[in-house]
Amino acid sequence: CERQDRRPHKQRLLVVANRLPVSAVRKGESSWQLEVTIGGLVSALLGITDFEVKWIGWAEVNVPDEIGRKSLIEALAEKRCVPVFLDEDLVHLYYNGYCNNILWPLFHYLGLPQEDCLATIRSFQSQFDAYKKANQLFADVVKEHYQEGDIVWCHDYHLMFLPKCLKEQNANMKVGWFLHTPFPSSEIHRTMPSRSELLIAVLAADLVGFHTYDYARHFVSACTRILGLEGTPEGVEDQGRLTRVAAFPVGIDSDRFVRTIQLPQVKNHIKEFEERFRGRKVMLGVDRLDMIKGIPQKLLAFEKFLEENPEWHEKVVLFQIAVPTRTDVPEYQKLTCQVHEIVGRINGRFGTLTTVPIHHLDRSFDHHTLCALYAVTDVALVTSLRDGMNLVSYEFVACQASKKGVLILSEFAGAAQSLGAGAILVNPWNVTEVASAIAYALNMPSEEREKRHHHNYVHVTTHTSQEWAETFISELNDTVVEAQLRTTQ
Ligand code: G6P
C-alpha cells in the first residue's frame, strides 16, 4: 500500500474490507509494530497507480484507551490505512457469529451448524443486530474520510450492509461492493431469516460484483424471487433505479510468483527439497483449515488411493499445509480434531520406520518457502467443497513453468471455470473419483501435462489481479449514480 504515487490531484479510492492489509502489535503506551500482509486484494491494488488508495478496516486489536487509539491511527496513517475499532463483545457476535457461523457456511452450501442449531437460531437476532451495528461503525469511519469525488469499494460478506449505510449518509457517494465468496442459489439464500434485508442493503450499491457469472445470476434470481424486483441483463432494477450486477473473476499478481522462483535463495530451497524427496512424487495441498476446503474428504481420497495402489507406497508424499483460521469458532475447532485423527490413522497405516505418506502442517509459510514448495510439486490437490475462486490453484500454476505438474481441481471452486480445461476437474465428495484422479495425474504422460499446464499458465499470467481491480474500478467510475433508493420491502 506504500507504492502508490501521492500526487494530490489523483482521484481517491476508499477500499473498505473487514481486515486491513496491516496487522498491529502494541509495543508500548503509544508505540506500535506494524506488519504488512500481501494478500490477494493488496497485490491487486498495488498495481493501481491512477488512484490514491486508502484502506479502511477493522483494527483487530482491542484498544480501550484514547492514547492507544490515537497512536494506532497515526501509525496506520503512514501505511494509508484507517482502523475501525470494534469492541470484543461486538466482534464475537459480528465476526465469529453472524459472519463466520451463519453467512460463511450458508454461502458455501454447508447450511447452518447442525449440532448447536437451536443455540444458533436463538442467538440469530442478536448476531444480526451486531452485524448491522458493526457495518454502521465502518460507515461512520468512511464518512469521516470521504471527500467529494471519491469512489468507495466495499468488500465481502462481512460488509453487506455497508452500501446501504453509506448511501443513507450520502446518496451521491459512488459505491461498489464485491463478494469474494460464492453467492449461493436463491433456494439457499431464501432460508436466511434476514434474506430481504441483506439483498436490499447490497442493492444500495451502484455496482455489485462476483467472481463468476453463476454467482451473479444467483444474486439476481434472489432479488427477483425474494424481493419481486426485475432482473435485466445489466443487473437489478427497482422503480427505475438500476444496480449494475456483473462478474469480475479475480486473478493473482503472477509476476511476483514467477520472479520469486528465479531468486537464488529460492532456487537453493527447491534443490534442497528435490534432494530430500528424490525418488518420490510430491503432492501438495495448501488451505486455510476451513470446512469449505474439504480437507477430510481430500485425505480420505488419498487414503483410498494408497489402498488401491500399493505400488505407490513410499513413492509419494502429500504435504498438507492447513493454516489455522477463525479458531474461536467451535466448528473450526472440531474440524482441527477431525483432520488430525485422519492424518494419524493414514500415517499409522501406511508409514514405515523412515517415511510417512502425509506431512501435515498446521501453520503458514513465508512466500519464498511456499513458492519453492509449489515449484517442486508434481500434483496439487485443490478439492474445496465450495470456494469463491481459490487462488492457490493460480499460485501453483504460476510456479510450475519448469515442472509442468498437474492440478486436480474441485468443480465447485470458482477457478474451475477458468482453469477447467487444463486441470483435472473432480467432485470432492466422491472419494473414489478423486483417488482415480490422483492415480491418473501421477501417471500422466509429459505431453499431456505440458498441454494442460500451458493452457492454465497462459490464463493465470494474463488475467491478473491488477487487471481485475482496474476493470472493477473503471466500471464503478463509469456508473451513473442514481440517488433514489429502495427503503422498504
Ligand atoms: C476468505 C474471505 C476473506 C477473509 C479470508 C480469511 O477468503 O473471503 O474476506 O479475509 O477468507 O478469513 P479471516 O476470517 O481470517 O479474515
Q: Whose CA is nearest to atom 7 of ligand 1?
A: 180
Residue 181 CA, closest ligand 1 atom number: 8
In this structure, what is the dihedral angle of CA atoms 369, 374, 379, 380, given to the nearest 10 degrees?
Answer: 90
- Ligand 1 centroid to Cα of residue 160, in Å, is 15
Phi–psi pair at 350, nearest 5 degrees: -115, 0
Q: What pTM value is reported for the model?
A: 0.95
Q: Mention every residue, 6+ apart, whose C-beta is less than 8 A from residue 301.
A: 383, 428, 431, 434, 435, 438
Predicted confidence (pLDDT) at residue 488 exceeds the cutoff of 50: no
**Residue ranges lining ligand 1, Cβ < 6 Å:** 18-19, 156, 180-181, 325-326
- Ligand 1 centroid to Cα of residue 470, in Å, is 22
List the grid coordinates of 350.
501406511
Predicted confidence (pLDDT) at residue 5 exceeds the cutoff of 70: no
**Which of 181, 331, 332 has most ligand 1 atoms within 8 Å of CB, for mutation?**
181
Residue 328 CB: number of other CB atoms within 10 A? 11
Contact predicate 92/102, CB 8 Å:
no
pLDDT value for 49 = 83
Predicted confidence (pLDDT) at residue 207 exceeds the cutoff of 90: yes
Q: Whose CA is nearest to atom 8 of ligand 1?
A: 180
**Which of 15, 16, 18 has most ligand 1 atoms within 8 Å of CB, for mutation?**
18
**Which of 16, 55, 180, 211 has most ligand 1 atoms within 8 Å of CB, for mutation?**
180
Percent of the chain whose pLDDT exceeds 70? 96
Residue 156 CA, closest ligand 1 atom number: 9
Residue 40 CA, closest ligand 1 atom number: 7
DSSP string of 199-226? HHHHHTSSEEEESSHHHHHHHHHHHHHH
Residues 149 and 54: their CA atoms lie apart, in Å, by 14
pLDDT value for 115 = 64
- Ligand 1 centroid to Cα of residue 233, in Å, is 30
**47-101 residue pLDDT tens:** 788 899 999 999 999 998 999 999 999 999 999 999 999 999 999 999 999 999 9
Predicted confidence (pLDDT) at residue 485 exceeds the cutoff of 60: no
- Ligand 1 centroid to Cα of residue 230, in Å, is 32
Instruction: Tell me what the mean pLDDT of segment 396-425 comes to.
Output: 98
Residues 383 and 400: their CA atoms lie apart, in Å, by 19
**Which of 19, 106, 286, 289 has most ligand 1 atoms within 8 Å of CB, for mutation?**
19
Predicted confidence (pLDDT) at residue 378 exceeds the cutoff of 80: yes
Contact predicate 439/408, CB 8 Å:
no
Question: What is the identity of the amino acid at 229?
Answer: L
pLDDT value for 37 = 86
Predicted confidence (pLDDT) at residue 483 exceeds the cutoff of 70: no
pLDDT value for 440 = 98
pLDDT value for 114 = 67
**451-472 residue pLDDT tens:** 999 999 999 999 999 999 999 9
Q: Whose CA is nearest to atom 9 of ligand 1?
A: 156
Residue 158 CA, closest ligand 1 atom number: 9
List the grid coordinates of 323.
493454516
Q: How confident is the model at residue 484 (pLDDT cuts 50, 70, 90)?
A: low
Residues 10 and 451: their CA atoms lie apart, in Å, by 44
**286-341 residue pLDDT tens:** 999 999 999 999 999 999 999 999 999 999 999 999 999 999 888 899 999 999 99
Give buried/exposed letters for 433-466 (b at 16+ CB in 10 A, else e). Answer: ebbbbbeebbebeeeebeebbebbbebbbebbbb
Residue 100 CA, closest ligand 1 atom number: 14
- Ligand 1 centroid to Cα of residue 158, in Å, is 9
- Ligand 1 centroid to Cα of residue 450, in Å, is 33
- Ligand 1 centroid to Cα of residue 205, in Å, is 22
Run of H or E including 370: helix 367-376
pLDDT value for 486 = 53
Instruction: Tell me what the mean pLDDT of segment 211-221 comes to.
Output: 98
